Every structure is written in C-alpha cells, then in structure tokens.
Structure 1
Amino acid sequence: GTFREYDMLKAHRCVDFSMQNDRPAGDGVVTGHGKINGRRVFVFSQDFTVFGGSLGEANAEKICKVMDKAVDVGAPLIGLNDSGGARIQEGVASLAGYAEVFQRNVVASGVVPQLSVIMGPCAGGAVYSPAMTDFTLMVEETSYMFVTGPEVVKTVTNETVTAEALGGARTHTRTSGVAHMSYPNDVQAMAAVRELAG
C-alpha cells in the first residue's frame, strides 16, 4: 500500500504513577500519510487498546505533526477517533496537548478538508476536535461522543441516561448536529471516507 507511518517508536515520557514501566511504542496513535484513489491524505488513528486511546504529550505531538504536514502540503486530514480523552496521569501536559490540536484545527479550517470518524466511545477533550472538523462521521451503536459519560451524569444530576441517548450517532446526526453522517458499521464508514477524501 501507499501508507507511510511517522514516529512509530515514539513513546510517552511520563514517570508519574509508575508510567515509566509501561511505554508502548507509538503511544496509542498511528500517524502518517498515504493515498486514496491517487490523492495524498494525512491520517491519525487512535488505538483504544493503548491507555484507552487517551491523549498524552507524545500522542499529541504525533497528531500535531501530521496536522501540520497536511496543511503544508494542502492535503485532506483524516482522524479516526477512539479515545477516552485526556491521559490524566500526564496532567497539564495532556491538556496542553489538546490545546495544540485545537489550535491546528482552527488553522486548518478552510485550508484543507478535515474529516473525523468516531470509531468508538469518545469523551472529554476527544470530542472537541471532531466537532471543529468539516465532516464528522459516526458508526451506529458503537460510536459515542460526550463531554462526560452516563455514569458521571447519574452521579452529578441523579438522571439515568444511556450512552446512545447522551451521545450516540442518532443523537448527534438528528438532534445536536455535531455529526453529519452515520453508518451501520465501520466498513461503510470507511467507504464514505474514501469517497469524501478521494
């Protein structure tokens, strides 16, 4: 294939909470560039199996690098989002990483197409960037976008709400307008990305 990965061995630098004992290569996000139907695209894909897909400093650096390259080249940026939000073990460094990502969303707006696909449960900071992109796609019954999940809503407000009602594909494509399209499965969502980006 045409995909070329960046920084595949990059790992976080956190030493708090015994994090120095768990430094997976790539830090939970795959970034790089490739071609869709002959058109160059830049991609980041969060890996929920690594720290819940959470964004830490190194993770953010990788995403920012691919965002910068997309703007420099004038090519579409595709984000495959599957993240529980900020990596709390990294504290303020994680939040600063989100600030850098959001800044780049703003800079890229109107310059290059930005596409987001919500591939799983995304919460907190993980949902702000997709909300700023040109197209946000969701997968029915498996992808969710919420600032905070149903358990926190129950604790704070004593209201019971399902993940689907709070932040599912139907909620965001029909009520909030945060997402533009929804698909019954990942395969159809990826086919739509190919059509939009290619």
Structure 2
Amino acid sequence: MSVTFTAALRPPMGYVVGCGCAGVTARAPRYGTYADAQQAADQATAAAGTRLALPGCTLPAVCPDYPLYAVEVDPDGEVPFVNLSNANAIGVLEALGLSFGGGEDADALEPGLPADAAEDATVIPIVVVDAAGELSAPDLLARVVTALGLAPEDPGVPDRRAGSTLIGGRPAGYLQRRLLDLYDLAAWCAAHGRDVTWH
C-alpha cells in the first residue's frame, strides 16, 4: 500500500492505447472516447506475441507480452507524481501537518516492531494509512518550506529484525528528499493552475 501525491484531475483531452510509458502516450494516435481506445487496446492485446513494442516504450523487450489499455491524455501532458510507502508516508504527512488517518496507534507501527516479539516469531507489520485530500499548490509549497525549516536533517531509520522478519528502514536524508520532490510537484501544479491531491 502507498500514498500518491499528484495534480488534481482535469478532464482528458482524449485517449490512447498505451502500456503506461509516457513516451507511448505522447506519440500514440488519439481516440475521442475511452470505449474506442479500450476496444483498440483489446484488439492489440489479442495479438500478443505477434505485435511489436509501441513507439516510445521504455521496455521494448517485454512490452509485446503484456496487455495494452486505454490511457487518458492529460491536457498538460505528463503529470508528475510522488509515491510514498505507507510507513514512509506517515513521517512525510506529519511533517506537512496533514492527517494520515490511521488513528492514535498508527505512528507506533512506523518502526514496525512490537516491543514483546519473541526471537523466533514471525512478525508482519502493517502500517495503517488512510490519507486522502486536496490542497492548493501554494498551500502545499508553504507546508513544504515550513517542514524543511523545522526538520533540516533526517537521520534515517536502521533496518530492524523481529524474529525471522526483517523490516527495512530508510536512508538518512529521506524526508528532505521527498519534501523536495513534493516541492517540485507543487511548483508544477502552481504553474499549471492545479491543486495537489493525495490518496
């Protein structure tokens, strides 16, 4: 599970048959409706194994083996996004002063270890994040600048072991890198007159 920040949706300016690569979406012919694009995608997928990779695909060796699908074409081109794992999203959302919707105990799960795990126990940590929302781009920019000022250094979190389970940490400086990614996203949204959403 994860939390993704991106630009608020706008009505698409058309649809294409794609594989998910931005280069394919930019080059593909446009369809007026989702249904038309999906029908063309289904026909192309039925030829799997015999079709070539789509122009602009970044994985041409494997593209022909996977199904194609209808892709919306955003009026502003390729829309940036920032994706965070649930465990890492908690720290970023807290730094921004946003709710992560997991309740009081959720941040206790962030380290991923119950205090009384037996040495031979199998622990499967589950971080509960139910975060969704929308802000204006200037509001997110201000929150990012504030968060960077309040947390200029992230020492990181080391990997931990609970019984036979390894819980990966995060490298030093992770929070600041992700905040800078969000700053770039918010700046893009501001330049295109769009709000920022996350879910």
Q: TM-score range by the shorter chain?
A: under 0.3
Considering Cα pairs closer than 8 Å and 6+ residues apart, tell me whether 1 or 2 has the greater RCO: 2
Of Structure 1 and Structure 2, the greater strand share is in 1
Structure exhibiting the larger radius of gyration computed from Cα positions? 2
Q: TM-score, normalised by structure 2?
A: 0.23
Tell me the TM-score normalized by structure 1: 0.23
Which protein has the bigger helix share?
1
